[in-house]
Amino acid sequence: MLPLLALAICCSSLHAQYYFYNDRYYENAVVVELGGSFGVMNSLTDLGGKKGVGKGFIKDLRWKTATPTGSVHVTGMYKNAIAARLELTFGSVKGFDSILKNVSSLFTGRYERNLSFKSKIMELQLAAEIHPLYILKFDPDNPPPVSPYAVVGIGYFNFNPQANLDGQWINLQPLHTEGQGFREYRDRQPYKLSQFNITAGMGVKYELNSFANLRLEVLHRFLNTDYLDDVSTTYIDPSLFDKYLSPNLAYFAAQLNNRKRELNPADETMPGEKRGDPKGNDAFFTIQLKIGVVIGRQRR
């Protein structure tokens, strides 16, 4: 993406210094946009969801778990057609099985699992924008005020799932709640709290005037982990926590690995019983309203 912009800058300098934005303004072939955004962030994980067994993608989405998010970005754009964008996004995600209380008796007992999590998210993303209306031929003195576009890129994000126990938020990753890294579960490796993701989405840009624009954008993150919520596979023998963890961590791990007894003290969960669904990785996405200021346009 960056080499593409560099090539565009080079080529534009060979042909002409400026091109006309409309009948009143001209601009460099490459302009810079500075901006910010606000909106909502939500996740698709093993926890919570809609009634019934867990479903894929938006079929299991609950808007009750959406949280505020914001970002800042700098974008280099070539003739409004293609762009490279660097963006820093802040937000959080959460999920809780208690959201299924009203339908718990109808299906498979996700409510009775009684797990929950929250996690702050910080992401640095490098993405490419493609604006097809500007790639296709149009009147250069009358550019389209509304431009749909596609986004694809790569991000590096940080997360840290936590659960509440007696009013205290406990970090879940150090607890190895599903035996990650234990000799008895060699196929379950500890997950890293900073990882790469793939981003893809779409948006629509509206030119407010020659120097400002608004965008509405939906951007999905495809993750390489199923542990955004610290839930993925099966329950383990809780005695292993005392074997591998310090007494303090072992205590919290035994409490937060299996919370069914908080709802049903008579529950007897056996090692190997289903805790999560390892078939698909977790994901999160944002819906944002972006405001951008364009640098590089001048009056004729």
DSSP string, 17-41: SEEESSSSEEEEEEEEEEEEEEEEE
Residues in CB range of 252: below 8 A, 6 or more apart: 165, 170, 175
CATH of 2-299, one of 1.25.40.10, 2.40.70.10, 3.40.50.1370, 2.40.160.20: 2.40.160.20
Domain ranges for the chain, please list them. Answer: 2-299
Rounded CA separation 122/246 (Å): 30
Rounded CA separation 87/59 (Å): 29
What is the full per-residue pLDDT of the chain (300 aa) written as tens digits? 544 444 344 444 433 445 556 666 666 788 899 999 999 999 999 897 766 544 455 656 778 899 999 999 999 998 888 999 999 999 999 999 988 876 645 445 788 899 999 999 999 999 999 999 888 866 656 677 899 999 999 999 999 999 999 999 999 999 999 999 999 999 999 999 999 999 999 999 998 888 899 999 999 999 999 999 999 999 999 999 999 999 999 999 999 999 999 999 999 899 999 999 898 899 999 999 999 999 877 665
- Record the tokens describing residue 143, joined without a space: 């550019």
Strand partners, 12: none
Amino acid residing at 30: V
Q: In this predicted structure, what is the pLDDT of residue 282? A: 93
Burial class (CB in 10 A: 0-12, 13-18, 19+), 272: exposed
> Model-level pTM?
0.86
